[in-house]
Amino acid sequence: MTFKQEIARRRTFGIISHPDAGKTTLTEKLLLFGGAIQEAGAVKSNKIKKGATSDFMEIERQRGISVATSVLAFLYKNHKINILDTPGHKDFAEDTFRTLTAVDSVIVVIDVAKGVEEQTEKLVEVCRMRNIPMIVFINKLDREGRDAFDLLDEVEQKLGLTVTPLSFPIGMGYDFKGIYNLYEKNINLFSGSSKKKLEETISFDDVSNPELEKLIGPSSAQTLRDNLELVEGVYPAFDRQAYLQGHLQPVFFGSALNNFGVRELLDCFVQIAPPPRPKMAEERLVEPSETQMTGFVFKIHANMDPKHRDRLAFVKIVSGTFERNKPYLHVRLNKQLKFSSPNAFFAEKKEVVDQSFPGDIVGLHDTGNFKIGDTLTEGEVLHYKGIPSFSPEHFRYINNADPMKAKQLAKGIDQLMDEGVAQLFTLELNGRMVIGTVGALQYEVIQYRLEHEYGAKCTYEPFPVHRACWVEPEDPKSPEYQEFLRVKQKFLATDKRGQLVFLADSAFSLQMTRDKYPGVKLHFTSEFE
């Protein structure tokens, strides 16, 4: 296969939603269709029967939530599909925002009973800012939920999207009969005693045909005809170009748990979703078809295998071909590195790959060379933008609970912070360490992982801080800046990269500081122009 064909057959996408909308279940069913796994694990009431394939950290199994982005790949109809399953829980939003820098399109999962929820709004907002093409999947149709048209209205109003249904439900909950697929013009019937069996798909391009009554009954047939007429009258026809530009969002209905409507979503997805897209670096726009390899680290995961203490840096290939054992330039460190065993992912299984193409995600074993946002190239100096650290909202001192394990604690904190789980600030005044997170649940995750992966124990104590701001003086030698450093000494800390951070104890003191020292800029993200 030629290089161009390899690019054209790749689809790299993320699945986003509010917690509990069925994101991880949908990921599994997609893997099932791709033949990547033989049976799916049902995640119910936080007791995991078989463990969802994409949740491989112990704490995820206990809580029944995803806390780290998983990377999974499979082949389907001669397409290589890379899925990034993201955490839905708001405490892990930062991981999800970073992951969205590595995807070419997105599937948004919405629960039919709950509709659009807060976390979905935030994530869709990020996708809209970046014009990422989105497909909406309305899930859990086997349960009682809201009217399909009401949901479509809510998606348009709350998320600011322009939708066009490509499938439409026949009934819902107990009356759920199946789905009419507008894209392929056929009907899928939902049947079987436990409603787990799926009857064959019946080609049906003319809904006025009286055969429809025999299949789904007279009243359902009439309702479906009325609904489809309304769909055609109200919603725009599907236009792939508008979808690719982020102006139109196709909608599918189904039930991921019962494997219903998932194949239709996948079949349509491989046809319409974009292959790898160009990416903007600080220096220039990089096209996937360029022969020189470039890629960037969007995630670091410590201890993929707790027995071996290994760290993996996840690299999205943007252009060219990544080859095993070939030296590449690590731009930030300005040194050549080569990798003898780059990994591709297959749920929990990893395999060593010789070649990877644009759109692929490669896991590189890392001994501490990588940070999130690092770029690898064949020699050109490039910096990919848009992977900032966000200002945390929760702050706590971290203390060592076992003095005999100080080394393990230091190593554990160091590696977990590189992953971007949380941020570490060291106070200038006394050198005490403060951990800042976007959500409170991360403290539990850090404590759990320090103990179970590094054998270290920690305790926390409250640290009253309103916001962390990165400091950028207009003139580092100015008297104004020197006074700022002297007066605010006890509120200053450095982050892991050595950047100076001001820890404001209240919104009022933050505003006062800004007014008093106009020559000192304070930023809520670590990347500023």
Q: Is 108 within the bounds of a domain?
A: yes
Environment class of 489 (CB within 10 Å of its CB; exposed 0-12, middle 13-18, buried 19+):
exposed
Q: Indicate the range of 16-25, 274-283, 335-344, 443-452 predicted with least confidence.
A: 16-25
Predicted confidence at residue 71, as pLDDT, reads: 76
Residue 230 clears pLDDT 90, i.e. is over it = no
Whether 408 and 439 share a structural domain: yes
Asked whether the beta carbons of 364 and 316 are under 8 A apart, the reply is no
pLDDT one-digit tens code per residue, 277-315: 998 888 888 999 999 999 998 887 765 555 555 678 889
Q: Is 120 within the bounds of a domain?
A: yes
Whether 349 and 401 share a structural domain: no
Query: What mean pLDDT, rounded, does the chain reach?
Result: 80
Domains contained in the chain, number: 3
Whether 138 and 43 share a structural domain: yes
446 token code pair: 């850090």
Residue 138 clears pLDDT 70, i.e. is over it = yes
Whether 411 and 512 share a structural domain: yes
CATH assignment of the domain containing 332: 3.40.50.300
Report the C-alpha gap between 159 and 134 in whole angstroms: 11
Whether 479 and 513 share a structural domain: yes
Q: Is 184 within the bounds of a domain?
A: no
CATH assignment of the domain containing 497: 3.30.70.3280
Q: Among 15, 278, 21, 249, which residue's Cα sits nearest to residue 135? A: 249
464 token code pair: 């009253």
Residue 483 clears pLDDT 90, i.e. is over it = yes
Q: Is 219 within the bounds of a domain?
A: no
379-404 burial, b if ≥16 CB within 10 A, otherwise e? ebebebebbbbbbbebbbebebeeee
Whether 35 and 100 share a structural domain: yes
Choose one of 352, 377, 402: the last residue of a domain: 377
Q: Is 66 within the bounds of a domain?
A: yes
Average pLDDT over residues 265-274: 90
Residue 387 clears pLDDT 70, i.e. is over it = no
CA angle, 162 then 225 then 160, to 5°: 10
User: What domain range includes position 150?
Assistant: 9-74+84-173+237-272
Report the C-alpha gap between 182 and 251 in whole angstroms: 11
Environment class of 332 (CB within 10 Å of its CB; exposed 0-12, middle 13-18, buried 19+):
middle
Predicted confidence at residue 501, as pLDDT, reads: 92
Residue 443 clears pLDDT 70, i.e. is over it = yes
Whether 112 and 163 share a structural domain: yes
Q: Indicate the range of 122-126, 264-268, 324-328, 430-434 predicted with least confidence.
A: 122-126
For 49-56, which contacts have Cβ atoms below 8 Å and span 24 or more sequence positions? Answer: 52/24, 52/25, 52/27, 52/28, 53/27, 53/28, 53/347, 53/348, 54/24, 54/27, 54/28, 54/85, 54/347, 55/24, 56/347, 56/348
| Range among 176-180, 204-208, 280-284, 481-485 rated most confident | 481-485
Predicted confidence at residue 300, as pLDDT, reads: 79
Q: How confident is the model at residue 130 (pLDDT cuts 50, 70, 90)?
A: confident
Q: Is 178 within the bounds of a domain?
A: no
Report the C-alpha gap between 386 and 405 in whole angstroms: 37
Higher pLDDT, 496 or 401: 401
Higher pLDDT, 342 or 310: 342
Return the axis-axis angle of helices 406-418 and 441-454, rounded to nearest 10°.
130
Q: Are strands 10-16 and 79-85 parallel, antiparallel or unpaired?
A: parallel
Asked whether the beta carbons of 251 and 148 are under 8 A apart, the reply is no
Predicted confidence at residue 95, as pLDDT, reads: 65
HSE of 9 in the Cβ direction (CA atoms, 13 Å)? Answer: 16
Whether 349 and 474 share a structural domain: no
Residue 224 sits at φ, ψ, to 5 deg, of -60, -45
Residue 120 clears pLDDT 80, i.e. is over it = yes
Residue 28 clears pLDDT 50, i.e. is over it = yes
Whether 334 and 263 share a structural domain: no
Strand order in the sheet with 186-191: 167-170, 178-181, 186-191, 197-203
Residue 213 sits at φ, ψ, to 5 deg, of -60, -40
Residue 45 clears pLDDT 50, i.e. is over it = no
Q: Is 231 within the bounds of a domain?
A: no
The full DSSP string for 296-323 is EEEEEEE-SSTTTT-EEEEEEEEES-EE
Predicted confidence at residue 127, as pLDDT, reads: 82
Whether 113 and 243 share a structural domain: yes
Predicted confidence at residue 347, as pLDDT, reads: 52
Q: How confident is the model at residue 51 (pLDDT cuts 50, 70, 90)?
A: very low
CA angle, 220 then 221 then 222, to 5°: 90
510 token code pair: 């933050």
Q: With H, G, I as helix, E, B as strand and everything else as coil, classify residue 262.
A: helix
Predicted confidence at residue 126, as pLDDT, reads: 76
Whether 52 and 97 share a structural domain: yes
| Range among 26-30, 267-271, 365-369 rated most confident | 267-271
Asked whether the beta carbons of 172 and 254 are under 8 A apart, the reply is no
Q: Is 160 within the bounds of a domain?
A: yes
Residue 200 sits at φ, ψ, to 5 deg, of -65, 155
Average pLDDT over residues 212-237: 83
Predicted confidence at residue 88, as pLDDT, reads: 47
Whether 451 and 417 share a structural domain: yes
